[in-house]
Amino acid sequence: MNPFLRFLSELQDITLMIWSVLVGLTKSPRYFKEMFQQMDLIGVGSIPIILLTGFFTGGVLTLQSYPTLAYYGGQSETGMLVTSTLIRELGPVLTALMVAGRIGSAISAELGSMVVSQQIDAMRALGTDPIRKLVTPRIIALLLMAPLLTVTADIFGIMGGAIAGNQIYGHDYNVFINSMRNGIEIEHIIGGMIKPIAFGFIIGVISCHKGLGTTGGTVGVGRSTTNAVVLSSIVVIIADFFLSRVIQTVLVTRY
């Protein structure tokens, strides 16, 4: 099969999977227990890495931008720069990349090894639809947890930025907070919440699809895990560009 046809057939499989997830939502059985388990695993489980990622990203933003701003005499605007960069771009994207690495790989490895050890077949043989039991709870958990994790990353990033500015450049906390308040608009926050929902969906769909499509034994599990992480990261970054443009046009922001 040539690459273009392969791409089309994968796209078809993904679309069909999304469709069965949507259809499955309309009728019972619904697996709430699995959903809460996944929310715990994805949400609570990711807090440490998200916290560290956010904190040091905020810190490095201040570290790098403060001298430049100071050169133009605009160091008092550091808070605004750090905050709006985090809320609009780095918070959602970095969170999505960390989640893709941590959760996307886990999902595709788990589903992949269930495929090669015939557990998925066993599930179907016992009368359970694996899409409803395994895929839907994971995608929904990601949809709900990705925005919350992004908020965590944003908050700790702002803290990191303020602390780095204060400790390294002696930048006053009050100045930082004041400029931060001026820098945030409600549209930025809304935009920054829409993105992680979309990213969570992308990561969930791609990881589940790659996991369930595993072939070729244990080697295949490794391959689909790698593919899931790489593909969802790339799609997240590409989608980020277009989403940013759409948000910019729809939610008209001042700057």
Residues forming the site for another protein (CB under 8 A): 29, 114, 117-119, 121-129
Cβ distance to another protein smaller for residue 25 or 122 = 122
Q: How far apart are the C-alpha atoms of 235 and 202, rounded to whole Å?
A: 7
Q: Are 164 and 173 in contact (CB under 8 A)?
A: no
Q: Do residues 79 and 161 lie in contact, with contact meaning Cβ atoms separated by under 8 Å?
A: yes
CB of 122 to another protein, least distance (A): 4
Q: How far is the CB of 127 from another protein (least distance, A)?
A: 5
DSSP 8-state secondary structure symbol assigned to residue 255: -
Nearer to another protein, 128 or 244 (CB): 128
State the residue for tokens 């443009």: 245
Q: DSSP letter at 89?
A: I
Closest CA to 130 of 224, 221, 213, 42: 213
For 244, counting Cβ atoms within 10 Å of its Cβ (0-12 exposed, 13-18 middle, 19+ buried), the class is: middle
- Residue closest to 159 by CA, chosen among 8, 26, 58, 31: 58
**Which one, 9 or 117, has the nearer CB to another protein?**
117
Nearer to another protein, 10 or 129 (CB): 129
CB of 149 to another protein, least distance (A): 24
Q: Which residues contact 248 (CB under 8 A, 6 or more apart)?
A: none
Distance, CA of 90 to CA of 96 (rounded, Å): 10
What is the rounded distance in angstroms from the CA atom of residue 51 to the CA atom of residue 43? 12
Tokens standing for residue 60: 């490095």
Quote the least distance from Cβ 143 to another protein, whole Å: 23
Q: Which is nearer to another protein, 60 or 123 (CB)?
A: 123
**CB closer to another protein out of 119 and 253:** 119
Residue 153 contacts residue 94 (beta carbons within 8 Å): yes
Nearer to another protein, 126 or 252 (CB): 126
- The least distance separating another protein from the CB of residue 125, rounded to whole angstroms, comes to 4
For residue 166, the minimal CB distance to another protein (Å) is 47
Least Å distance, CB 113 to another protein, is 8
